[in-house]
Structure 1
């Protein structure tokens, strides 16, 4: 069995190295996924904020149009 020990030790060392590299890759990928999730969340929030602003502007425009139509000239003046 002594003859096989150096080969086993070498293979074990390679295996440990590969497992370490996989662990490092997993850490890097997890960090990237976390960053992408954060960017996605920020973009979604920005889109929601923009839509809220759009809704407010649309409501303001609608109010102006309603007041104009309800005015004395009935909205006939362009």
Structure 2
């Protein structure tokens, strides 16, 4: 089991970026709309690139249809890159 982190996601933003904190969670704005899993895919792609890990090592373990998502990282990550 890897590291699990809970994020607050705001879909449909102008660009995908880390946007500070919200209720003690890291807030991430995602450019994709919350339709057909597009925002989830964008989130995984963004986190993998930002943290320097493979997309296959980033998994949403809860909150697939919610703004509050728990993400598991199967590789070692450096949170200072967020």
Quick check: TM above 0.5? Answer: no
TM-score (normalizing by structure 2): 0.22
TM-score, with structure 1 as normaliser? 0.23
Structure with the bigger percentage of strand: 2
Larger of the two Rg values belongs to structure: 1
Structure showing greater relative contact order (alpha-carbon pairs closer than 8 Å, 6 or more residues apart): 2
Structure with the bigger percentage of helix: 1
